[in-house]
Amino acid sequence: MPQFEYLIKKLDEKKGEIDKAIMDYIRKRYEGELYELVEYAVGDGKRLRGVVLLLISEALEGDQKKALRLAISAELGHSASLVHDDIIDRSVERRRKPTLWKRYGLEKAVILPHILISESLDIARREGEEFFKVGLETWSKASMGEYLDIIAEDRNNWPGMDYRRLIALKSGSLFEGAAEIGALVSGKKEYIQDAKRYGMALGIAYQFSDDLVGYINSNEEGGGSQNLFSYYIKNEIGDSKDISLIMGFFMFNIMKEFEIIRKSKLFEKSEYLKLFPIFSILEIMKENASMYDILKNVIENYF
């Protein structure tokens, strides 16, 4: 799939731009141990939210320098949510290294996200009130998602909970906000609602895939959304570990989100935005080699 190879090259370039911009920014803002903490929290990320912001801005001919500054904001906010996530889930490892709370202690890990989200919102404020508003709304939704994630730790709450709503708030909101900002940078307001739908569907598909891999890998540190996912899938297909049945369940659910993306006006604005959802899902599936091979063959030609 030649165009997929071009996409990966493009994404590497965008990720590199964001990585450099983030590191340059935090070097100027922090020093000593606080710099060490921030660098540890924001380093080694996939940068998917920042990348989708840049791709949408580029497709709509927005100011790329402005978009890059806002991508820093999006990634700092996302990093803040991950630090909280790891505390809530009691995860001891992320990206093949100790989580921040495990390495530096719970007290510093609790306060650092407040520093990161304040920085994220301040960057957005300096770019314009409309960006600050999106950042604030995004953090509000993501925080509610984290609250529901905690509630979902208790199996007694599962029957009354909506799995899709949880992941829409927890992960979908972060992609939605990044996509909306990408459209706002261009000044083309007719694309804003379309961008939000694209981002939300992408975020839901991403978290659904993440929870599926955790379920298959029997990851006991998956947190509330993964627990609720296990309840959801068992209600649909029982306790079966048949990979074909699980894949059918996965594809049925994921295609509903892909269809929303296919209907987006952004879908026709950029070849990269067509392929980006597939790339994002495959990034998650790399954590399970058999699932990756099966899924790659199934969806790489979907769009």
Q: How many percent of the chain have pLDDT more than 70?
A: 95
Q: Once rounded to an integer, what is the mean pLDDT over residues 242-270?
A: 88
Report the C-alpha gap between 114 and 120 in whole angstroms: 10
Q: From the CB of residue 39, how many other CB atoms can be counted at a distance below 10 Å?
A: 14
What is the domain-level CATH number for residue 200? 1.10.600.10
Q: Give me the phi and psi of 141, to 5 degrees please.
A: -65, -45
Going by pLDDT thresholds of 50, 70 and 90, the confidence category of residue 246 is: confident
Q: How many percent of the chain have pLDDT more than 90?
A: 67
Going by pLDDT thresholds of 50, 70 and 90, the confidence category of residue 269 is: confident
Quote the domain boundaries for residue 74: 2-299
Choose among 106, 262, 286, 241: nearest CA to 98: 106
224/185: higher pLDDT: 185
Written as one letter, the residue type at 135 is G
Written as one letter, the residue type at 295 is L
Q: Give me the phi and psi of 229, to 5 degrees please.
A: -60, -45
Going by pLDDT thresholds of 50, 70 and 90, the confidence category of residue 219 is: low
Q: Please give the DSSP secondary-structure letter assigned to residue 154.
A: S
Q: Once rounded to an integer, what is the mean pLDDT over residues 213-226?
A: 78
pLDDT for 1 beyond 70: no
Count of domains for the chain: 1
Cβ burial, residue 153 (10 Å; 0-12/13-18/19+): middle
Q: pLDDT at position 283, please? A: 84
Mean pLDDT (the chain, rounded): 91
pLDDT for 140 beyond 80: yes
**Residues 150-161 pLDDT 10s:** 999 999 999 999
- State pTM to two decimals: 0.93
Structure tokens at 112: 């650092």
Report the C-alpha gap between 56 and 195 in whole angstroms: 8
Report the C-alpha gap between 289 and 36 in whole angstroms: 34
pLDDT for 289 beyond 90: no
HSE at residue 258, side-chain half, CA atoms within 13 A, is 21
Going by pLDDT thresholds of 50, 70 and 90, the confidence category of residue 222 is: low
Q: Once rounded to an integer, what is the mean pLDDT over residues 78-85?
A: 94
Q: Once rounded to an integer, what is the mean pLDDT over residues 50-74?
A: 97
Full 3-state SS string of 3-54: HHHHHHHHHHHHHHHHHHHHHHHHHHHCCHHHHHHHHHHHCCCCCHHHHHHH
DSSP line for 172-200: IHHHHHHHHHHHHHHT-GGGHHHHHHHHH
Q: pLDDT at position 303, please? A: 52
Instruction: Tell me if 52 sits within 8 A of 199, measured CB to CB.
Output: yes
Choose among 18, 17, 170, 13: nearest CA to 89: 170
Report the C-alpha gap between 125 and 128 in whole angstroms: 5
Q: pLDDT at position 245, please? A: 87
Q: How far apart are the first and last CA of the chain?
A: 12
pLDDT for 214 beyond 90: no
